[in-house]
Structure 1
Amino acid sequence: MTDRPTMTTTAGAPVPDNQNALTAGPLGGIMMQDYQLIEKLAHQNRERIPERVVHAKGWGAFGTLKITGDISEYTKAMCLQPGAETPMLARFSTVAGEQGAADHERDVRGFALKFYTGEGNWDLVGNNTPVFFIRDPYKFPDFIHTQKRHPKTNLRSATAMWDYWSLSPESLHQVTILMSDRGLPQTPMHMNGYGSHTYSFWNDAGERYWVKFHFKTQQDHKFFTNEEGEAVIGKTREGYQEALFYAIDNGAFPRWTVQVQIMPELDSEKTPYNPFDLTKVWPHADFPPIEIGVLELNRNPENYFAEIENAAFSPSNIVPGIGFSPDKVLQARLFSYADAHRYRLGTHYENIPVNQPRCPVHHYHRDGQMNTYGGIRTGNPEAYYEPNSFDGPAEQPLAKEPPLKVDGDMSRYDHRVGNDDYVQVRALFNLFDEGQKSRLFSNIAAAMGGVPSEIIERQLIHFARVHPDYETGVRAALKAAHGYGADTISTAAE
């Protein structure tokens, strides 16, 4: 027998027998002193941690961000300077499904990135779509409730989804993308990624620019129809995990072209739409994408739980030269993401190896769950508060970003007043060819099975406001799929 490491308890003592419980004779009861048996059973009961409330099912890998372009006039971020190479982690996910859900379901895909920069971790937590269903964070818990299970039936509810969407016209842009071809990518490698929110850059001169991040797949867009996706699920529920893992394992490293859209700070007052509205895109003709580099995934995790399940992404993780914007949903996420990690992983979740910055870290947090660094990150045990006289870490004024220019009185503004939720959807609809439109209509009809007619009619009004062909096509698909034919004909608002 070859030499092998000695199996030990978690305290380091050798384990003499890992096959047989300690008993009082061959027919006797188990002895409580068999502490290793108790340890194994107790640990098994605690092997699972709470799954993510949203984006529970995910797949991830490590890689590198290489910057080839020059945007130094817009940002001082070291990781975005020409020639910079930054190690990173990506996690892709679905929104609605639990950890055991099938990969190939029609759903928005999360596109979360963690960059281990020399100035701290920078997280960009986006999706495979440039927009989302909401523009006000008050509605996020409500929207997610519609995507999860009905409290009585414990089943997904098409009625809840379409009832919410039909009462929330700002969702129409994202709904149209979700129900289009791009709502069911074949693999994580065959879809784009987006920061979705508006973020900001700032340079050494203290000038601020608004920015949108885009990650364009170099593997081409590939999508499944609902029927093709169902066929894949009939063979495997882990299609995304298999595709991503084995592509990297076989050396076929997936890549994305990194682009940014840049808007001068004061131009935000000139656009006919709110540039901080998560349901809107910036037209490329107005703000052309600038190619700045390549993101490549080239290493699989050694342990999925330790490196992917424990990965904690938060848009609050930024570095000097990158900032936020008045985007209301982004502002809410700055709290909610880090708070979710504190609940799911522990107070010091950023001390878990996959979340640890790869630069010096000095702070005054102490005690609590996951404190594995001796309770001190200040360099001096006497410096456990701030300010202090014991050479503890001090603030760095050079890292201060320019102030956000925010006007107006504190109030609750109706986010639907003055917003056109149809014009950008119309532009998207007009880009579709006849085949894409036909699949869009069929996908919507399939998703509306069993939905009450009054909700369907309410949603059809929104489609008609985008384009008469949108409503007509969905109505015909509903008739073909479900025999739907209400007497009431929806009428678009003038």
Structure 2
Amino acid sequence: MEKDPSNRDKDDEEQENTLTNRQGHPVTDNQNLRTVGNRGPAILENYDFLEKISHFDRERIPERVVHARGAGAHGHFEAYGTAGDEPISKYTRAKLFQKKGKVTPVFVRFSSVIHGGHSPETLRDPRGFAVKFYTEDGNWDLVGNNLKIFFIRDAIKFPDMIHAFKPDPITNIQDSERFFDFCASSPESFHMVTFIYSPWGIPANYRMMQGSGVNTYKWVNSEGEAVLVKYHWEPKQGIKNLTQKEASEIQAENFNHATQDLYDAIKSNDYPEWELLVQIMSDDEHPELDFDPLDDTKLWPEDQFPWLPIGKMTLNKNPEDYFTEVEQAAFGTGVLVDGLDFSDDKMLQGRTFSYSDTQRHRVGANYLQLPINAPKKRVATNQSGGQMQYKVDRAPGQNPHINYEPSLLGGLKESIQNGKEYTPYIEGKLVRQAIDRQSNTKQAGETYRAFEKWEQDDLISNLVADLSNCDQRIQYKMIKLAEEADKDYGRRLQEGLAKAAGGGSSQKPLGNRDGDLSPEKAIEKGHDADPY
């Protein structure tokens, strides 16, 4: 006898609509990595995450999945030898920072994040800000964005976020409803939405935008003591952003304007400069804060954790060949040198696997042998083979028959540890849980109030323009988040959407693809009532 559909058992329901991995295993938690306690660190046995992110890393061939549109330049970094008034050795033993005036070569790649390789540089999008330091201890990659926070705090959500922001898989057109559907369902993203939809979402060019490591890292000194650290790049040229109107006017004339601006400035010897500053925090949970310091959706308050200058970067040489240098440049958040370390930031730990894994897929297993990626020092490994290998990383005098370690027959030897090893104590149950202190909208309100009036006006205008095309349930949620952040913010967004829906607007009326959702139906479906 055929089953009554209203009485389907759990197994039937799982077969029809339950999320699974590629092995067919039901996914019980798609929001949180498995970590030691809810603050981390993450563990390698996160099978669902590793399968998900590994597949995501390989979705596009050969263009970068994200950060496809980019420009780059060579230069150098000059250390100050101090962090504020303190010798930098108090906090880190990283050699490139120790001596005042010490110069380290760098290569920088600027980029947009979501859009394709030939997209206009005026589109609303975070901008990548990746710096490769060719230090005496090997390469250090400081990989971040122009904005100092991110949309999500757990790496397991990254593929879903990018899917929502990329073009619709059916129409191949980007859809603001998909973007806001994800953001409305991920309240931690609201602070980033506030920045992206303001003029800060469209930097005027690469020379006049900030940079940030975004994630929390650690510094380790010679005694094996660690502190938490955040990195910030401040442009000496000043900061300039664009309104939507200004961006549209530029795009009509030149969709390569930022790349051209950087190239022309360096060619005319007007070398752009950035000062590198850090915020330092003791390595503990800081219960006095209303947010977790490892949460990459949050800013550290400057009055409590001041910005300390530690050096200056100058870009003074354009690439000789775009593909060889800019396109094949490969960065990874796991590329650290002695004195620099990871924190338990869940996004950082996920990025650390994903970035280098992506480069091996995109450029090849031997991407680090390319001149733009190779360290400017000797390399000796026991790794060999793979596509496009053109040399063996062998030390002078190394027995060529010995490609393993340890050996008594002339193989490579382990290095001596510089300073005391950093050995943090970790204890806790392995769990899949969100962090305790989320405070998803407070800083968005602080950011809104810190904006100048023209920035607030542009933010509301841009949000209304895109949200007015969205399902009514998404609008309700975004208004609620705005109201939680700041009453004026919520009021203006609500009024703007009501006006857009009430005639005199070319935008589609409030509603959803299945027809208008009344307040009663919204409540019945578990959504907020009509705020208008």
| TM over 0.5, shorter chain | yes
What corresponds to 1:452 in structure 2?
471
Q: 1:220, CA displacement in angstroms? A: 1.3
Letter in 2 for 1:191: M
Letter in 2 for 1:121: N
State the number of aligned residues: 445
- 2:87 matches 1:75: no
What corresponds to 1:8 in structure 2?
none
The aligned runs of 1:270-349 (5 Å cut-off) are: 270-349=288-367
Q: Which of 192, 209, 212 is 2:230 aligned to?
A: 212
Cα distance between partner residues in 2 of 1:159 and 1:492: 18
SS in 2 for 1:257: strand
Q: 1:219, CA displacement in angstroms? A: 1.2
SS in 2 for 1:307: helix
What are the Cα deviations for residues 78-108 of structure 1, in whole angstroms up to 9, with x where unaligned?
A: 1111322110011111111100111110100
CA gap 1:268/1:389 in 2 versus in 1, 3 angstroms? farther
Q: 1:467, CA displacement in angstroms? A: 1.1
What corresponds to 1:224 in structure 2?
242
Q: 1:408, CA displacement in angstroms? A: 1.7
Cα distance between partner residues in 1 of 2:446 and 2:416: 45
- 2:444 matches 1:432: no
What corresponds to 1:18 in structure 2?
none
What are the Cα deviations for residues 100-130 of structure 1, in whole angstroms up to 9, with x where unaligned?
A: 1111101000110100000000001100111
Letter in 1 for 2:382: Y
Q: 1:404, CA displacement in angstroms? A: 3.1
Q: 1:433, CA displacement in angstroms? A: 2.8
What corresponds to 2:73 in structure 1?
61
After TM superposition, the score normalised by the length of structure 1 is: 0.86
CA gap 1:230/1:363 in 2 versus in 1, 3 angstroms? same
Q: 1:389, CA displacement in angstroms? A: 1.4
Greater Cα radius of gyration, structure 1 or 2: 1
Runs of 5+ unmatched residues, structure 1 = 1-47
What corresponds to 1:465 in structure 2?
484
> Contact 2:154 / 2:347 at 8 angstroms: preserved in 1?
yes
Q: 1:479, CA displacement in angstroms? A: 4.0
> Contact 1:464 / 1:492 at 8 angstroms: preserved in 2?
no
After TM superposition, the score normalised by the length of structure 2 is: 0.80
What corresponds to 1:251 in structure 2?
269
Runs of 5+ unmatched residues, structure 2 = 1-59, 83-87, 503-508, 512-517, 523-527
Cα distance between partner residues in 1 of 2:112 and 2:283: 34
SS in 1 for 2:92: coil
Letter in 2 for 1:453: Q
Cα distance between partner residues in 2 of 1:49 and 1:464: 42
Q: Which of 156, 163, 175 is 2:193 aligned to?
A: 175
Q: 1:377, CA displacement in angstroms? A: 5.3
Q: Which of 425, 428, 431 is 1:411 aligned to?
A: 431
SS in 2 for 1:151: coil
> Contact 1:197 / 1:278 at 8 angstroms: preserved in 2?
yes
CA gap 1:352/1:268 in 2 versus in 1, 3 angstroms? farther
Cα distance between partner residues in 2 of 1:269 and 1:373: 52
Cα distance between partner residues in 2 of 1:223 and 1:419: 29
What are the Cα deviations for residues 328-383 of structure 1, in whole angstroms up to 9, with x where unaligned?
A: 11001111111001001110110011000001111111111121114645832022
SS in 2 for 1:72: helix
What are the Cα deviations for residues 60-81 of structure 1, in whole angstroms up to 9, with x where unaligned?
A: 1011111124112111111111
Q: 1:270, CA displacement in angstroms? A: 4.7
> Contact 2:476 / 2:530 at 8 angstroms: preserved in 1?
no
The aligned runs of 1:182-193 (5 Å cut-off) are: 182-193=200-211
Letter in 2 for 1:75: T
> Contact 1:188 / 1:244 at 8 angstroms: preserved in 2?
yes
Pairwise CA RMSD of aligned residues? 2.1
Cα distance between partner residues in 1 of 2:311 and 2:103: 10
Bigger relative contact order, structure 1 or 2, given CA contacts below 8 A and separation 6+?
A: 2
> Contact 1:325 / 1:404 at 8 angstroms: preserved in 2?
no
> Contact 1:461 / 1:491 at 8 angstroms: preserved in 2?
no
> Contact 1:113 / 1:123 at 8 angstroms: preserved in 2?
yes
Q: 1:449, CA displacement in angstroms? A: 4.1
